[in-house]
Amino acid sequence: MNYQEFIHSLKLNECPHQLDPCLQALWYDATGDWNTAHEIVQQLDNTATARIHAYLHRKEGDDWNSRYWHRQAGTSYPENMNLRQEWESLVIMFVE
């Protein structure tokens, strides 16, 4: 799935089952279901899901927790990026 196909999938009633868990979390977040997105990343323990976990806590307004997850992911807190830009960069990172 490429970026445009992923964006189009946001209009569907259900998350496409073939999506990688990282993209599933981003899909749920974009469609207004932060809790399901968070549940997905909480169940997995790798740097990719840690990065999305960091984004989700930043979106929630919990900067301390976001910075923690950035350390787990080995990434930096995106000081000069708004949430929409961060979400888009994550989608681009995980689409094929």
**pLDDT tens string 11-52:** 999 999 999 999 999 999 999 999 999 999 999 999 999 999
- Looking at residue 47, its pLDDT comes to 96
Question: Average pLDDT, stretch 75-96?
Answer: 95
State the Cα–Cα distance between residues 83 and 89, nearest whole angstrom. Answer: 10
With beta carbons less than 8 A apart as the criterion, state whether 87 and 26 touch: yes
Domain ranges of the chain: 19-86
Predicted TM-score (pTM) of the model is: 0.95
Return the sign of the alpha-carbon dihedral for residues 41, 14, 27, 63. Answer: negative
Q: Is 57 exposed, middle or buried (0-12, 13-18, 19+ CB in 10 A)?
A: buried
User: Domain 19-86's class?
Assistant: mainly alpha
Confidence of residue 8 (pLDDT cuts 50, 70, 90): very high
**pLDDT tens string 41-81:** 999 999 999 999 999 999 999 999 999 999 999 999 999 99
- Looking at residue 96, its pLDDT comes to 73
